[in-house]
Amino acid sequence: SQTIHQWPATLVQPVGSPLSLECTVEGTSNPNLYWYRQAAGRGLQLLFYSVGIGQISSEVPQNLSASRPQDRQFILSSKKLLLSDSGFYLCAWSGRTVGGYTFGSGTRLTVV
Amino acid sequence: AQSVTQPDIHITVSEGASLELRCNYSYGATPYLFWYVQSPGQGLQLLLKYFSGDTLVQGIKGFEAEFKRSQSSFNLRKPSVHWSDAAEYFCAVGPPYGNKLVFGAGTILRVKS
């Protein structure tokens, strides 16, 4: 069966520090991968999605970047965190046909 | 452009009472519709989905949703709410391929005993 792993679960980082969040999927190949951010009371904002290795689409301009170095690995990064980067980050995958998303358990990022 | 509206930010119901969470969407083609639930600090779990066919779909945990094309709605219902249903609920709409779902802002459900 397919599983999705996301880590770390919580992270407290100072302003100006770098960020790396990792997401991996098991049990499937060539998934679509997504990074969402959830700020309090603001629903889910799609940050990046990827349909293949090295193929990244950015949905909103921001202080973050994403990479997909392997088929089932999706990384969210920042060179210098801002206070406004705080939030709950969710990774998700979907297949190539209709089926919706499967979400990871999320990372709570607090920038201090 | 695709959009999803969940008019109710918060809803409070008594345990054992019925529940209906509203969802309205705007989409230029045949919509593929989903409901997700999120417990505090957790990821989202798929409750149910609608692609085609019978407009009343059954999901997990006793939830159901009805697709009404004329009203552009996909409301979530449960006949009798349990305290464990307290969570945030998200409606989403997307295309059949590409799967870039658009989510509503969510409805927080509180259950009082």
Cβ distance A97 to B9 less than 8 Å, yes or no, reads: no
- The chain A residues in contact with chain B (CB within 8 A) are 6, 32, 34, 41-44, 46, 49, 51, 88, 90, 92, 94-106, 108
Q: What single string gives the DSSP state of each residue in A41-76?
A: TS-EEEEEEEEETTEEEESS-SS-EEEEEETTEEEE
Question: pLDDT tier at A98 (50, 70, 90 boundaries)?
Answer: low
Q: List, for residues A50-75, the tens digit of each pLDDT value.
A: 999 999 999 886 789 999 999 999 99
Q: Which residues of A touch B100 (CB under 8 A)?
A: 34, 46, 49
Length of chain B: 113
Judged against a pLDDT cut of 80, whether residue B74 lies above it is answered with: yes
Q: Tokens for A44?
A: 């889910």
Q: Which of B45, B98, B104 sits opposite A43 (nearest CB)?
A: B104
- The chain B residues in contact with chain A (CB within 8 A) are 9, 32, 34, 36, 41-46, 49, 51, 90, 92, 94, 96-101, 103-106
Q: List, for residues B24-68, the tens digit of each pLDDT value.
A: 999 877 788 999 999 988 889 999 999 888 899 999 999 999 999
Kindly state the percentage of chain B with pLDDT values over 70.
Answer: 96
Cα-Cα-Cα-Cα torsion A47, A51, A55, A60, nearest 10 degrees, comes to -20
Radius of gyration (Cα) for chain A, nearest Å? 13
The amino acid at A51: V
Q: Is the peptide bond before A31 cis (omega within 30 degrees of 0)?
A: no
The amino acid at A18: P
Cβ atoms of B9 and B105 within 8 Å: the answer is yes
